[in-house]
């Protein structure tokens, strides 16, 4: 896939929500369109959790792609985007890990997250999907201690301040090859890289989806990116939604 030059706005509610609205209401939002905001007033993550970012401090953007992959492959698109974003963040000089299914971590602390949402809009060659990415860029370690324990930023990891737009350009350079691999081969095409970057593989984990929590050994990932949890008596359960709790 190819990205168009990003369209930057000073303030939007949520780049995902606005892009989903524009797809419905405006003509000519082509695949590869990138919408970025210096500030979001209603940023959200999965399960409608608030996504907190600050004006000019953090990177928030979304893009639209057209995919012919079937619906059940879509969860793993988030994983492909997480891998591409992680590879881009590594170029700043630290090791970025993933946490199933959509988190980006450095030293066990969250530096970013991905949210894919499906649009009803159909392109000639496939469905329109909106993928949003949020990255903590210039947050400093003088933030409240509760946040610093669980979150980090490019600035905290490198000791340097970065131009938000440059961080976006670095990510956009890296992403297409990962999305193309996913488009051609689904999750199996990125599984090895996912396992290499993902925290807690082979370890005891608890996975929660807001209503149910289950514990076991994170044994691996199925062909659609679903988590394989070995529970008691050696039974292997497939987990399709939720978060690995750290």
Residues forming the site for ligand BTN (CB under 6 A): 14-16, 40, 43-46, 49, 51, 60-62, 102-103, 113-115, 132-134
Which of 66/85 has CB closer to ligand BTN? 85
Sheet holding 59-67, edge to edge: 7-12, 34-40, 59-67, 126-135, 109-123, 103-106, 97-99
Q: How far apart are alpha carbons 220 and 202 in whole angstroms? A: 7
Which of 132/225 has CB closer to ligand BTN? 132
Which of 209/217 has CB closer to ligand BTN? 209
As measured in angstroms, the least distance from the Cβ of 37 to ligand BTN is 8
Which of 114/168 has CB closer to ligand BTN? 114
As measured in angstroms, the least distance from the Cβ of 18 to ligand BTN is 9
As measured in angstroms, the least distance from the Cβ of 132 to ligand BTN is 3
As measured in angstroms, the least distance from the Cβ of 102 to ligand BTN is 6
Per DSSP, 57 falls in state T
Q: Taking the CB of residue 86, how many other CB atoms lie within 10 A of it?
A: 25
Helix (H) or strand (E) segment spanning residue 207: strand 204-208
Which of 16/67 has CB closer to ligand BTN? 16
Q: Return left, alpha or beta for 200; rule: phi > 0 is left, psi -120 to 50 is alpha, else beta.
A: left
As measured in angstroms, the least distance from the Cβ of 234 to ligand BTN is 32
Tokens of 175: 């992403």
In 92-175, beta strands by DSSP E: 97-99, 103-106, 109-123, 126-135
Which of 213/223 has CB closer to ligand BTN? 213
As measured in angstroms, the least distance from the Cβ of 233 to ligand BTN is 33
Residue 76 has, within 13 A of its CA and on its CB side, a CA count of 29
């Amino acid at each position: 896939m190819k990205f168009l030059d990003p369209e930057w706005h000073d303030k939007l509610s949520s780049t995902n929500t606005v892009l989903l609205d524009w797809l419905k209401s405006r003509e000519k939002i082509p695949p590869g369109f990138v919408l970025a905001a210096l500030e979001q007033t209603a940023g959200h993550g999965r399960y409608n959790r608030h996504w907190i970012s600050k004006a000019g401090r953090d990177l928030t953007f979304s893009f639209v792609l057209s995919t012919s992959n079937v619906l059940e492959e879509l969860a793993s698109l988030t994983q492909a985007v997480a891998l591409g974003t992680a590879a881009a963040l590594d170029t700043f000089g630290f090791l970025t890990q993933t946490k199933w299914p959509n988190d980006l971590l450095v030293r066990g602390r969250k530096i970013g997250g991905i949210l894919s949402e499906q649009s009803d809009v159909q392109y000639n060659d496939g469905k329109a999907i909106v993928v949003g990415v949020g990255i903590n860029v210039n947050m400093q370690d003088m933030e409240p201690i509760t946040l610093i324990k669980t979150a980090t930023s490019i600035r905290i990891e490198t000791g340097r301040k970065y131009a938000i737009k440059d961080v976006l350009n670095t990510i956009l350079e890296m992403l297409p090859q990962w999305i193309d691999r996913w488009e051609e081969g689904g999750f199996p095409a990125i599984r090895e890289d996912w396992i290499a970057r993902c925290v807690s593989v082979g370890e005891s984990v608890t996975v929660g989806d807001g209503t149910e929590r289950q514990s076991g050994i994170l044994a691996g990932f199925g062909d659609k990116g679903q988590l394989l949890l070995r529970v008691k008596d050696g039974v292997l359960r497939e987990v399709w939604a939720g978060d690995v709790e750290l």
